[in-house]
Structure 1
Amino acid sequence: MDEHSLLGLGLSALHRDGYLLLPGVLEARQVDQLQAAISALTPMHWDYNGLLEQYKCVFNRDPLWLTFLDLPGVIELAEAALGEDCHLIGQTAWRSHPGYQGMPLHLDYLVMALPPALLADPAFELPMQICTVQFYLDDIDAELSPTRVLPGSHRAGRKPAPGEQQWQGQQVQSILCRAGDALMFRSELWHGGSDNRSADRSRSMLQVHYGRRMVAQKFSPYLHWHFNPAVLAAATPRQRRLLGEHAEAEYD
């Protein structure tokens, strides 16, 4: 199957289900490289560590993170979903340790409330504004904090109620996958984490958020933000565009 056909299937899944699992996106050496890079991170600003480690804006800490902004097979799908002028709105490294309690079902961002009848119309295709890609660095089984998704819930037009676990007859599904696989999902999809019930394993993950150009880039610490010169010097033209170096447009 050619690249154009694969992109079409990927877009269809994002419109139909709200998510897509991409197998084998990372090579074994890249998985090892990211595991080592996360281990070397130290908290800054709003980062935190404990049973859950979270490190924000890692792309600005070292040029090695740039590679994971535009991985082949991922960036093409992001650009097809969000436009060829889409950009980065976040890159976060996570590590969930034994005993960590996962997040309940939630959505990341609902662009606007739409009439339920419109959302229920199969002829209506809800445009995407933000997509997230989660790169898994461990083999994920039922014990190791699998991501949970509720297929089709991006068309609910609302966030889930507390404890809500199904929508339109669809049940929550756990994403069980291998190290190097990636999950792409749109911001309206109901999704959540789950507990790390393993005795001695931690789950590591790199998360990248893409938005349409008119979705603001919100890099903390905001007014004190500045780009790392070493990162900018190493970035390719496409990576610089993802970082925000756009051609002139209407609101510039």
Structure 2
Amino acid sequence: MTTQRVAEWAEQFGRNGYVMLSGVLSPDETEELRQGVEEAHRHPCPTGNPTQFHRHQMFRRGPAFEGMLDREPAVDVAETVLGDNCHIIANNTILTRPNSGIDRWHVDETVIVPVPEGVTLDPRMNMPCYVMTALYYLNDVPMEVGPTQIVPGSHRSGRFPPEHEKDLAWEGRSYVSMVAKVGDCLLLNGQTWHRGATNLSDACRYVLQVTYGRRFISQRFHPYINVQIPTQIFERASPRRRRLLGMHPHGPYG
């Protein structure tokens, strides 16, 4: 992947709060990953999280999932936006069954850079990005399956989404639906207003997420302290993947 192409994607991401990469995964890769996601969801989440949608730390489930941590070109865009010392803060799945969905408009966790009501960010300024999630679609996601929906540019609002959907627009831009093909990858700034639309089909929607954070953003590996990553994962990892898993050199705080 050329440096210029990665820079173009990073620029689109900074402007819109997301960018879609088409055909990142091959059919064989998506089939293997989808089967792994299905297997993960046959059992309760080992972290104790009761949610029906998620399973966590998927990199523990074998080389196919380990390889997604540093999968190009998503990791190249993440390093361009977040710095080449960024790391993985989460590696989850979302399995959306028929008649369900994470369909509440939201930003991830909280508004990181609040902007006062009545104030807009100077157009000469970029809204800082601290976290980027790569969403890999492991099956086709037409409208009836419940696509990811996004309000472009809303990462620059510095606000939570409005309570009423009729007000759901930012600087004249309403939401768009990320209709996707199997193997596509959506890079999303979690500060962008988004949701997963309700799945109105008879099929499931399978998504694998790899979430990257800046060096100073803590990793979200439950139980958050005393987490031990299996030795064999590090033994077969490249230097880049080891750093993504959190093996950093000393920094200003230790």
| Residue correspondences, number | 248
Matched, 1:184 2:183: no
- Kindly state the Cα deviation for residue 232 of structure 1 after the two structures are TM-superposed: 2.1
Name the structure 2 match of 1:107: 107
CA distance in 1, matches of 2:24, 2:61: 23
Secondary structure, counterpart of 1:222 in structure 2: coil
Could you tell which deviates more after superposition, 36-45 or 80-89?
Answer: 36-45
CA distance in 1, matches of 2:14, 2:53: 32
Name the structure 1 match of 2:24: 25
Name the structure 1 match of 2:13: 14
Secondary structure, counterpart of 2:88 in structure 1: strand
Amino acid at match of 1:222: Y
Could you tell which deviates more after superposition, 218-227 or 78-87?
Answer: 218-227
Amino acid at match of 1:218: R
Among candidates 205, 208, 219, match of residue 207 of structure 2: 205
Alignment of 1:59-208 (within 5 A): 59-108=59-108, 109-114=110-115, 119-164=120-165, 165-198=168-201, 200-208=202-210
**TM-score normalised by length of structure 1:** 0.92
5+ residue gaps, structure 2, are none
5+ residue gaps, structure 1, are none
Amino acid at match of 2:96: S
**TM-score normalised by length of structure 2:** 0.92
- Kindly state the Cα deviation for residue 68 of structure 1 after the two structures are TM-superposed: 0.3
Name the structure 2 match of 1:3: 2
> Once the two structures are superposed, what CA deviation does each residue of 1:148-190 show, in whole Å capped at 9, x if it has no partner?
0000000111111222422221111110010000000112100
Distance 1:119 1:60, change over 3 A: farther
- Kindly state the Cα deviation for residue 112 of structure 1 after the two structures are TM-superposed: 2.4
Name the structure 1 match of 2:233: 231
Secondary structure, counterpart of 1:184 in structure 2: strand
CA distance in 2, matches of 1:117, 1:145: 33
- Kindly state the Cα deviation for residue 61 of structure 1 after the two structures are TM-superposed: 3.5
> Once the two structures are superposed, what CA deviation does each residue of 1:162-221 show, in whole Å capped at 9, x if it has no partner?
2242222111111001000000011210000111100x2110010111000001112102
Distance 1:176 1:186, change over 3 A: same
Equivalent pair of 2:115/2:157 in contact (CA under 8 Å) = no
Name the structure 2 match of 1:222: 224
Equivalent pair of 1:102/1:145 in contact (CA under 8 Å) = no
CA distance in 2, matches of 1:205, 1:136: 5
**Superposition RMSD on alpha carbons, in Å?**
1.8
Equivalent pair of 2:58/2:93 in contact (CA under 8 Å) = yes
Secondary structure, counterpart of 2:145 in structure 1: coil
- Kindly state the Cα deviation for residue 116 of structure 1 after the two structures are TM-superposed: 6.5
Secondary structure, counterpart of 1:84 in structure 2: coil
Secondary structure, counterpart of 2:161 in structure 1: coil
- Kindly state the Cα deviation for residue 231 of structure 1 after the two structures are TM-superposed: 1.8
Equivalent pair of 2:134/2:187 in contact (CA under 8 Å) = yes
CA distance in 1, matches of 2:213, 2:225: 21
